Structure 1
Amino acid sequence: MATLRFFAGAAEAAQTETATLDAGTIGELRTQLGEHYGSKFVRVLGLCSLLVNGARASDDAVTLAPTDTVDVLPPFAGG
């Protein structure tokens, strides 16, 4: 199961900072997240970047291993 870390607005929408899900690809992960956390989270997820082990994963075909860490990062403002 991949470990997920939610940050800022994503953590607020999910009402947690961490989770684990068993998904084979980023696309499957997005689907499972929507089913698990609902429509409010889906709206936030649409704005987020996903990083797998620190590398951006913008393609839904990116595969996930059970040992992967996925960071869900909403856009940040400031500087």
Structure 2
Amino acid sequence: MIRVRYFAGAADAAGRDEAQLDTATTVGALKQHLADAHGPEFAGVLERCSLMVNGSRLGDDAAIPDAATVDVLPPFAGG
């Protein structure tokens, strides 16, 4: 089971803060699954987001381990 946490604009576009998924093999496959599941508005937000898998940013081809936590983080601004 993979835990996906949505933050800020990603949470707004997804309509939730968190989800549990049975499986996703790679970061790229997870992105595609999330875009399909949440629709075009979310897909547009997702294009600007970073995905952190267990606290590390991985490429689209990287495998996602079972029981991972994936954070969907849109760009943040602050000072």
Deviating above 4 A after TM superposition, structure 1's stretches of 4 or more consecutive aligned residues are none
TM-score of the two chains, using structure 1 as the length reference: 0.94
TM-score of the two chains, using structure 2 as the length reference: 0.94
RMSD over aligned Cα atoms: 0.8
Q: How does 1:24-63 map to 2 (within 5 A)?
A: 24-57=25-58, 59-63=59-63
Instruction: Give 2:71's aligned residue.
Output: 71
Instruction: Give 1:5's aligned residue.
Output: 5
Question: Aligned pairs, how many?
Answer: 78
Question: What's the offset of the Cα at 1:44?
Answer: 0.3
Point out where structure 2 has 5 or more consecutive residues left out of the alignment.
none
Identical-pair percentage = 50
